[in-house]
A and B are shown apart, each in its own frame.
Chain A
């Protein structure tokens, strides 16, 4: 009971996984969303915490619109995307009055808000809580890691695109994980290869194999490649469930493979 009190609202959360990348625009939010959906398909209860204060995009990707956030005794009630309450979401996007508002904040303010975000959301029972972070290694990241320290964090998934400019940034992120004692669950190479819908020629727009090489170099497990798929990006734009819409695509099998690996590696730990 004492233990539960200390962990507060996260007491009934089984696994906490962070999604990180040093570079922006590599698909953290997309991957977080798709992973959450894939885990849900595997019968898990999943929560997503969107701490990208400056550019929250997950509400849009899950097409939850702009609901009111309610409060209960335990804190903020997350927004559920379905009646079964199998996918919960909390994002700064819900708290802004105007979706176009820019959150132009300095560090201490962000730290305070994230402290609240981590401790005051009534998640209830969850199998997985995925935390989507902004790019870089700054106040937000430190605040998340510090505030989650009381609770056991299972580890972090690092997302990169294959080109050298991006893997360089992710190398810094790996050092960040080592310094803060975060376990690296694995590296995902996103946007690797684009198959022309017209002639099926695969072009590696952003090169290929950068993520795998990085994984080898740093000894982190490599989780897989997710191809650049216009179907996926349009699903994300429109907030449709990609995993339901295109269960035959190669992208789907890549994502579900990653979800499986995460399931086994967190269960084992």
Chain B
């Protein structure tokens, strides 16, 4: 038993060292291969033929989401660096900068959906005649999240396959209408959800969020590497929680370090899209479901987010040229 599992592990590592996307499709094909080994004899050749065809098919074709022009994913290798807050305020910033554009927000964090709380939305989406879910709207942004579909305290203890089918539903079974931008809030890590989304839909670009400490940067770097592997352009980095200003004496403390993200951006050869300070009002407003871009549009925090939004639009335009 132990021997068998060691060889399995060896195989596992062999796969990762090669081209990862190819490896994944091979792993998926492994299951039927094992079963087929049992049946021997004349059928072998036709089976091999079928196998070959199966392998040649490769990864699923990317299919755009109906009505959506450009998809922007907000990701980071690490959790708790402010992806959801950034995603929400980026979506609001995009529509504040240019009210003629329509922006949607998809919360792909199946395990810990925060968009309902941040956008102050609750309830179950209605169904259209075509059996599509109608997104809930607040602040003029249509939103979809796993949080609308399950109870607030219910854990979503799912294996990867179930998560993939949930993501498929959130991507395909939603009536977005016409959107210029769809901002996708990714879960932390580099797992099933990230793979499914990058493989199933064409993505205009990824925004990586990181806090300045080295440990977060390590993970952010892994996140960026993943997007490289799956050929998604990285639009740039957002450095979050870089500086805290004491509300009493205005002394500035770099709790999580100062310029880490800038250095990482240099090594990765991408731009810094913005620098968001650690500010009480961002957290307070977020907990209350009033994102800063909407609740205090004149604050420097809101301006920082709007700047990120315009930087994203610029980068997208530069990429499409």
Q: How far is the CA of A248 from the CA of B88 in the complex (A)?
A: 41
Q: CB within 8 Å of A: which of B219-262?
A: 219, 221-223, 225-226, 229, 244, 246-249, 251, 253-257
Complex interface bits, A106-130 against B, C-beta within 8 A gives 1, otherwise 0: 1111101101100010000000000
Q: How far is the CA of A130 from the CA of B88 in the complex (A)?
A: 35
B280 within 8 A of A: yes
Q: Are A106's CB and B27's CB within 8 A?
A: yes
Q: Quick check: which of B41-49, B77-85, B176-184, B301-309 contacts chain A, the rest being far away?
A: B77-85
Nearest-neighbour CB distance to chain A for B205, whole angstroms, equals 18
Q: Are A207's CB and B287's CB within 8 A?
A: yes
Nearest-neighbour CB distance to chain B for A20, whole angstroms, equals 11
Contacting residue for B213 out of A106, A109, A180, A233, CB 8 A: A233
Contacts of A55 in B (CB 8 A): 77-78, 188-189, 218-219, 222
A269 within 8 A of B: no
Q: How far is the CA of A55 from the CA of B189 in the complex (A)?
A: 7
Q: How far is the CA of A177 from the CA of B240 in the complex (A)?
A: 32
A102 with B283, Cβ < 8 A, contacts A22-B111, A179-B155, A201-B246 known: no
Q: Are A171's CB and B152's CB within 8 A?
A: yes
B153 within 8 A of A: yes
Q: How far is the CA of A198 from the CA of B278 in the complex (A)?
A: 17
Q: Quick check: which of B4-12, B51-59, B121-129, B130-138 contacts chain A, the rest being far away?
A: B4-12
Contacts of B157 in A (CB 8 A): 137-138, 141-142, 176, 179-180
A230 within 8 A of B: yes
A209 within 8 A of B: no
B68 within 8 A of A: no
A206 with B249, Cβ < 8 A, contacts A55-B219, A161-B80, A176-B157 known: no
B29 within 8 A of A: no
Contacts of B218 in A (CB 8 A): 55, 57, 60, 99-100
Q: Which of B6, B222, B223 has its CB near the most chain A CB atoms (within 10 A)? A: B222
Q: Are B195's CB and A137's CB within 8 A?
A: no
B167 within 8 A of A: no
A173 within 8 A of B: yes
Complex interface bits, A70-103 against B, C-beta within 8 A gives 1, otherwise 0: 0000000000000000000000000101011111
A164 within 8 A of B: yes
Report the interface size for chain B: residues with CB under 8 A from the other chain. Answer: 73
Q: CB within 8 Å of A: which of B126-168?
A: 152-161, 163
Q: How far is the CA of A113 from the CA of B3 in the complex (A)?
A: 14
Contacting residue for A25 out of B79, B160, B163, CB 8 A: B79
Q: Which of A22, A163, A196 has its CB near the most chain B CB atoms (within 10 A)? A: A196
Q: Quick check: which of B13-21, B32-40, B97-105 contacts chain A, the rest being far away?
A: B13-21
A199 within 8 A of B: yes
Q: Which of B16, B24, B159, B191 has its CB near the most chain A CB atoms (within 10 A)? A: B191
Q: Are B280's CB and A101's CB within 8 A?
A: no
Q: Are B225's CB and A22's CB within 8 A?
A: no
Q: How far is the CA of A40 from the CA of B52 in the complex (A)?
A: 56
Known pairs A54-B189, A54-B191, A97-B17 / 7 extra A-B pairs, C-beta < 8 Å: A23-B112, A108-B160, A112-B9, A135-B80, A164-B287, A198-B251, A205-B244
A–B complex contacts, Cβ < 8 Å, 9 sampled: A23-B79, A104-B24, A106-B27, A106-B195, A108-B27, A116-B5, A138-B191, A164-B117, A172-B155
Chain B interface residues toward A at CB < 8 A: 2, 5-6, 8-9, 12-13, 16-17, 20, 24, 27-28, 77-81, 84, 111-112, 114, 117-118, 152-161, 163, 187-192, 194-195, 211, 213-216, 218-219, 221-223, 225-226, 229, 244, 246-249, 251, 253-257, 278, 280, 283-284, 286-287
Closest 10 CB pairs of A and B: A24-B79, A25-B80, A107-B160, A198-B251, A136-B111, A54-B189, A196-B246, A199-B249, A169-B112, A24-B188
